[in-house]
Chains A and B, each alone.
Chain A
Amino acid sequence: MKSLIAQSHSLSNPKKQLDVINNQNDRVKNLDKFEKKLNEIGLYPLKPTGIEIFQINVGYMCNMTCKHCHVDAGPDRKEIMSRETLEHCLRALDHSEITTVDLTGGAPEMNPHFRWFVDEVSKLKKHIIVRSNLTILDTRKFEDLPQFLADRSVEITCSLPFYSRRRTDAQRGEGTYDKSMKVLKLLNDIGYGKKGTGLVLNLVYNPVGAFLPPDQESLKKDYKKRLWDDHKILFNDLFTITNLPISRYLNFLMMSGNLEEYMEKLVTSFNPSAAMGVMCRNTISIGWDGNLYDCDFNQMLKLKTNHGAPDHIKNWDLEKLNSREIVVNQHCYGCTAGAGSSCGGAVT
Chain B
Amino acid sequence: MDKTYYNPDDLKKFGDVGEFQKELADKFFDYYGTVFKDSALSSKEKALIALAVAHTVQCPYCIDAYTEESLEKGYSEEQMMEAVHVATAIRGGSSLVHGVQMMNKVDKLTM
Contacts and interface: CB of A to CB of B under 8 A. Distances in A.
A214 B74 contact: yes
A222 B68 CA distance: 18
B76 A162 contact: yes
A162 B73 CA distance: 13
Interface in A141-171: 162-164, 166-167
Contact of B68 (A167, A211, A218): A211
B71 interface: yes
Interface in B54-111: 68, 71-74, 76-78
B44 interface: yes
A227 B64 CA distance: 29
Contacts of B71: 207, 209, 211
A212 B78 contact: no
A164 B71 CA distance: 13
A211 B78 CA distance: 18
A138 B46 CA distance: 40
Interface string A215-243: 10011001000000000000000000000
Contacts of A59: none
A310 interface: no
B78 A164 contact: yes
A164 B44 CA distance: 19
Contact of A213 (B42, B68, B72): B72
Instruction: Please classify the interface of chain A as helix (H, G, I), strand (E, B), loop, or mixed, using the class held by over half of its residues.
Output: loop
B72 A211 contact: yes
Contacts of A162: 76
Interface residues of B, number: 10
B19 to A, nearest CB: 20
A155 to B, nearest CB: 24
Contact of A166 (B42, B68, B74, B77): B77
B82 to A, nearest CB: 13
Could you say which of B44, B72, B77 has the most chain A C-beta atoms within 10 Å of its C-beta? Answer: B72
A219 B74 contact: yes
A147 to B, nearest CB: 33
Interface in A173-218: 207, 209, 211-215, 218
A164 B76 contact: yes
A37 B73 CA distance: 26
Contact of A212 (B44, B72, B77): B72
B67 to A, nearest CB: 9
Contacts of A207: 71-72
Contacts of A163: 76
Contacts of A219: 74
A200 to B, nearest CB: 23
Nearest to A210: B68
Interface string A44-71: 0000000000000000000000000000
A48 B61 CA distance: 42
Contacts of B76: 162-164, 166-167
Nearest to B12: A264
A166 B77 CA distance: 9
Contacts of B78: 164
Nearest to A222: B74
Interface in B30-60: 42, 44
A218 B74 contact: yes
A220 to B, nearest CB: 10
Interface in A245-301: none
Contacts of A166: 76-77
Contacts of A213: 72
Contacts of A212: 72
A239 B96 CA distance: 47
A167 B77 contact: yes
B110 to A, nearest CB: 52
11 contacts: A164-B76, A164-B78, A166-B77, A207-B71, A207-B72, A211-B68, A211-B71, A211-B72, A214-B72, A215-B74, A218-B42
Given A214-B74, A218-B42, 4 more contacts: A164-B78, A166-B76, A207-B72, A214-B72
3 cross-chain pairs, A with B, having the tightest CB-CB distances, nearest first: A214-B74, A219-B74, A211-B71
Interface of A: 162-164, 166-167, 207, 209, 211-215, 218-219, 222
